[in-house]
Chain A
Amino acid sequence: MALEREKSLMKGLRQLIFPLAAVLAAFVAGSFLVLAVGDSPLATYQLLIGSAFTWPDGIGYTLFYATPLIFTGLAVAVAFRCGLLNIGAEGQLYIASFATAWVGITFAGLPAILLVPLCCLAAVLAGGVWGGIPGVLKARFGAHEVITTIMMNFIAIALASYFTQYHYKPPGDAILETVPIGEGGHIARLGRFVPGLPERIPLNLSFLLALATCVLVYLFLWRTRWGYEIRATGASPAAAQYGGIATGRQIVLAMALSGALAGMVGINEVLGYRYRYYDSFSSGYGFTGIAVALLGRNHPVGVILASLLFGALLRGGLFVDIFTEHVSKDLVMVLQGIIILFVAAEAMFRDRFRGPFGRRIKGV
């Protein structure tokens, strides 16, 4: 038993090597860039990393930025385990956030004990439906999910803007945002419980929810029959069908689940941070989620680690922008890009390496 745990620990550590190498390589490549524009790489990185891990502001904001990325990273990972590329997390989180706010506004009078669960349910359901539609289109008509989810992104963003603009905006407000949700829909900021962490930092209970969701997703994928069938469908549809698995249903389920996970961003955004729907709030969380999943190898633990990294980069990027002479916060985008490039290259390399023979072990 102890031996077994050690074996799986080693396996986990081995999984870390390549992503870590990719991150390291990206930083090295990025340093040339910083040099080229005329700043000191060392000072820049010191600023980037140092500012992300100061207490309480650095860490508080890093975790706050990481929260939506955990949700979208999980969303992309679950779809990917079923062999689907969900490019639509962005649209799913927008529609879900709006739905969350709508419930929070419409039922503003309800007490917290009712309103919070109701709002959460709205986030999950709206995201789930928005993700499930491309799933149905794929299962029924074979429409490729990459195309349909991209289309649904445009629709979601436009719909949310439209309703905000014409139906839910406070009259006379210059900013495109809805009226606030009822007080009962607010969820606590972690500052209330953690000594030394001021409540102005928007890090809230949804961070803990995100961590718990990772555990649930892990249990779902690897300990339940449904998770097994989703993964089998992703690994080999022909083999899954052979095993009696209705692959179409798995595709719909995986996409709906993926959408629901992306939709949970609305909980962080609306219930924990702004207490309203704020138009174009997402700085591409849905798309960064793809990077998170890729770097995190579509595993919940990897997703947490990658989200923390990207959260830290987002936080540190702001400081790099302000306090260096030539480097802008686009450095963070460049680093992200290079990391993805290396991770993708590694995946290609791995498949090439295995070749048609696999790692054969001789027997018989």
Chain B
Amino acid sequence: MLELREITKRFGDVLANDRVSFAVAPGTIHALVGENGAGKSTAMRIAYGFYSADSGDVVVDGAVRRFASPQDAIALGIGMVHQHFMLVEPMTVAENIVLGIEPGNALQLDVAGAVSRIRALSAEFGLAIDPTARIEDLSVGQQQRVELLKALYRQARILILDEPTAVLSPQAVRDLFAILRRMREQGKTIVIVTHKLSEVLEISDEVTVMRDGKVVGNRRTAETSAAELARLMVGRDVLLRVVKPEGHPGKPVLAVRGLSSGALGTKDRERRLDGVSFEVRAGEIVGIAGIEGNGQTELIEALAGLAEPAAVTGTIELEGRDVEGLSARARRAGGIAHVPEDRHRRGLLLDFDLAENSILGADDRPPVAVGPWHLWLNREAIRRRTEKILKAFDVRPPDPDLPARSLSGGNQQKLILGRELEESPKLLLVAQPTRGVDIGGIEFIHRRLVEMRDAGCAVLLVSSELEEVTALSDRLLVMREGRIVGEVDPARATPEEIGLLMTGGNAAA
């Protein structure tokens, strides 16, 4: 049905696809998995006519095709849902769908006709989308379904979804999978790109694994396992489960009471944190689950001292001492370390070298700063510190003179974690620690977090990856709309239970 033959694609020095070949059987769901940068998106964009291959063929229905643009692919019945949606927010669903292929003549849009067709399609595949709704009023999951409708409206037989689950809540993922199965029943062929193994095993019929631009394996899903797929992806054995000995929580390190705040950085009155109270004890990992945008970012930033002080009310105590009025620097000095969720914007100075990045947050005191007023940077000490971090956290390549920008996501994150742990914090704030990090890196980071806990550090972990928070946390809090809506035992609670708390029972969110 759809087949890639010996596809090779180069971007400058990067060999993004190296003789990639695989075939997708009609009427199946085919998963394409691989680490970040393995070349999955590139391969799919070539199949969709978005890029042209340097060499190799795209074969559809047994014939070699040349695509000058996605239009040619669409004409053959190929549709693609990108990771970032391409929708016009103030317009309606129907308007978005007909955009570019307006029915009727150019002056008179036949939107009414489109609305009824969309309604029929939506019913046929169980999408539950109202064609007259405005995009900006839809949830992320619904917007994704509009993208699906867009492809279906253009009579796609082969649907390519690039990391469709990255932005969804567990419920929405379940709904999406139900829709995909229904499409398969109706005879559609689906290619789903992902790097989450549990999803591969759940939804796909066949799976192709890519690593470093090459296809390293094809399996029938029924005949493989998560461990085998992980090994193919990473190229070595990977410990998928977090190994976590029994914790021994000690005295409370962080006590938060009645914490409320306005939206970060703005003066509007909307409360983004609404009376949040909890404790984190020494030697325990407290996880916060929740769909992104429900106050997790605001919570972490308020704790790290990055929120506008006037916007925050309530008390924050570190080992019984009120730190609410303290600056970010003073809180760091008090023993709070922070691995931020946005490592490009907050966590790193991308154009600075690794050495200069390794002193961010520690540049104001010995051994980094020496002499009168701690004015001089001690280059010898900085170099030693950097080399120590790069070695201990296996940052590759371990060259202190490289700009941080040149590291892969996983290595950037290891650098940040190493830098923050270098200060032997009492409290570690960690947000989305493994976003955009490859499987090998994830394993490493998880292990370090557990080690920190066992060394007596209090860890507050925010993650939108449900598997991650449940595996790592000793206690799990769920956040929704700026409030803590529940605490569950991560060892016992099912994803459904947690998901229900996350969405407030509203499965469509």
Task: Judge whether A223 is part of the interface by a CB distance below 8 angstroms.
Answer: yes
Task: Judge whether B346 is part of the interface by a CB distance below 8 angstroms.
Answer: yes
Task: Judge whether B328 is part of the interface by a CB distance below 8 angstroms.
Answer: yes
Q: Which residues of B contact A225 (CB under 8 A)?
A: 363-364, 368-369, 374-377
CB distance from B420 to the nearest CB of A (A): 11
- Complex CA–CA separation, A111 to B179 (angstroms): 90
Whether B375 pairs with A226 at a CB distance below 8 angstroms is yes
Q: Which residues of A contact B408 (CB under 8 A)?
A: 360-364
Q: Mark A336-364, 1 if CB is under 8 A from B, else 0.
A: 00000000000000000010011111111
CB distance from A246 to the nearest CB of B (A): 7
Whether A361 pairs with B376 at a CB distance below 8 angstroms is no
Q: Mark A235-266, 1 if CB is under 8 A from B, else 0.
A: 11011111111100000000000000000000
* Contact among A224, A226, A244 for B327, CB-based, below 8 A: A244
- Contacts between chains A and B (CB distance < 8 A), count: 106
Whether B37 pairs with A364 at a CB distance below 8 angstroms is no
- Complex CA–CA separation, A312 to B248 (angstroms): 73
Whether A363 pairs with B346 at a CB distance below 8 angstroms is no
- Complex CA–CA separation, A359 to B11 (angstroms): 11
- Complex CA–CA separation, A241 to B397 (angstroms): 27
CB distance from B278 to the nearest CB of A (A): 23
Task: Judge whether A229 is part of the interface by a CB distance below 8 angstroms.
Answer: yes
Whether B349 pairs with A235 at a CB distance below 8 angstroms is yes
Whether B352 pairs with A235 at a CB distance below 8 angstroms is yes
Task: Judge whether B14 is part of the interface by a CB distance below 8 angstroms.
Answer: yes
- Complex CA–CA separation, A195 to B28 (angstroms): 89
Q: Which residues of B contact A239 (CB under 8 A)?
A: 345-349, 360
Q: List residues of chain A with CB under 8 Å of any chain B CB.
A: 7, 223-226, 228-229, 231-232, 235-236, 238-246, 354, 357-364
Q: Which residues of B contact A232 (CB under 8 A)?
A: 349, 352, 360
**Chain B residue nearest in CB terms to A355:** B11
Whether B402 pairs with A361 at a CB distance below 8 angstroms is yes
Given known contacts A242-B361, A244-B361, A363-B397, A236 and B350 CB-to-CB distance under 8 angstroms: yes
**Chain B residue nearest in CB terms to A220:** B375
Task: Judge whether B441 is part of the interface by a CB distance below 8 angstroms.
Answer: yes
Task: Judge whether B329 is part of the interface by a CB distance below 8 angstroms.
Answer: yes
Task: List 5 tightest A-B contacts by C-beta distance, closest first.
Answer: A244-B329, A363-B396, A243-B360, A243-B361, A242-B346
- Complex CA–CA separation, A228 to B374 (angstroms): 12
Whether A246 pairs with B360 at a CB distance below 8 angstroms is no
- Complex CA–CA separation, A243 to B360 (angstroms): 5
Task: Judge whether B173 is part of the interface by a CB distance below 8 angstroms.
Answer: no
Size of the B side of the interface (Cβ < 8 Å), in residues, is 52
CB distance from B446 to the nearest CB of A (A): 15
Q: Which residues of B contact A241 (CB under 8 A)?
A: 306, 328
- Complex CA–CA separation, A357 to B350 (angstroms): 12
CB distance from A43 to the nearest CB of B (A): 44
CB distance from A121 to the nearest CB of B (A): 21
Task: Judge whether B281 is part of the interface by a CB distance below 8 angstroms.
Answer: no
Task: Judge whether B340 is part of the interface by a CB distance below 8 angstroms.
Answer: yes
Whether B374 pairs with A361 at a CB distance below 8 angstroms is no
Q: Mark B332-373, 1 if CB is under 8 A from A, else 0.
A: 100000101010011111111000100111011000110000
CB distance from A141 to the nearest CB of B (A): 14
Whether B346 pairs with A238 at a CB distance below 8 angstroms is yes
Q: Which residues of B contact A357 (CB under 8 A)?
A: 11
Enumerate 12 A-B pairs (CB-CB under 8 Å) in ascending A order. A225-B368, A228-B359, A235-B352, A238-B342, A242-B338, A246-B327, A246-B329, A359-B406, A361-B397, A363-B397, A363-B407, A364-B440
Whether B360 pairs with A242 at a CB distance below 8 angstroms is yes
- Complex CA–CA separation, A327 to B351 (angstroms): 44
- Complex CA–CA separation, A354 to B350 (angstroms): 13
Whether B306 pairs with A362 at a CB distance below 8 angstroms is no
CB distance from B419 to the nearest CB of A (A): 10
Whether A224 pairs with B376 at a CB distance below 8 angstroms is yes
Whether A244 pairs with B406 at a CB distance below 8 angstroms is no
Q: Which residues of A contact B377 (CB under 8 A)?
A: 223-225, 228
CB distance from A14 to the nearest CB of B (A): 14
- Complex CA–CA separation, A360 to B11 (angstroms): 11
Task: Judge whether B304 is part of the interface by a CB distance below 8 angstroms.
Answer: yes
Whether A242 pairs with B328 at a CB distance below 8 angstroms is yes
**Chain B residue nearest in CB terms to A228:** B363
Whether B212 pairs with A359 at a CB distance below 8 angstroms is no
Q: Which residues of B contact A229 (CB under 8 A)?
A: 363
Task: Judge whether B18 is part of the interface by a CB distance below 8 angstroms.
Answer: no
* Contact among B330, B340, B407, B438 for A361, CB-based, below 8 A: B407
Task: Judge whether B410 is part of the interface by a CB distance below 8 angstroms.
Answer: yes
Whether A364 pairs with B411 at a CB distance below 8 angstroms is yes
Task: Judge whether B405 is part of the interface by a CB distance below 8 angstroms.
Answer: yes
Q: Which residues of A contact B346 (CB under 8 A)?
A: 236, 238-239, 242
Whether A362 pairs with B37 at a CB distance below 8 angstroms is yes
* Contact among B11, B363, B397, B411 for A243, CB-based, below 8 A: B363
Q: Which residues of A contact B359 (CB under 8 A)?
A: 228
Q: Which residues of B contact A240 (CB under 8 A)?
A: 349
**Chain A residue nearest in CB terms to B364:** A225
Sample of 8 more A-B contacts, CB < 8 Å, known A225-B377, A238-B342, A364-B440: A231-B352, A235-B350, A238-B346, A242-B328, A242-B340, A242-B361, A244-B331, A244-B332
Task: Judge whether B185 is part of the interface by a CB distance below 8 angstroms.
Answer: no
Task: Judge whether B401 is part of the interface by a CB distance below 8 angstroms.
Answer: yes
Whether B396 pairs with A242 at a CB distance below 8 angstroms is no
Q: Which residues of B contact A363 (CB under 8 A)?
A: 395-397, 407-408, 410-411
CB distance from B96 to the nearest CB of A (A): 25
- Complex CA–CA separation, A240 to B364 (angstroms): 12
Whether B401 pairs with A364 at a CB distance below 8 angstroms is no
Q: Which residues of B contact A354 (CB under 8 A)?
A: 405
Whether A364 pairs with B406 at a CB distance below 8 angstroms is no
Q: Which residues of A contact B342 (CB under 8 A)?
A: 238
- Complex CA–CA separation, A231 to B332 (angstroms): 20
Q: Which residues of A contact B332 (CB under 8 A)?
A: 244
* Contact among B345, B376, B402 for A236, CB-based, below 8 A: B345
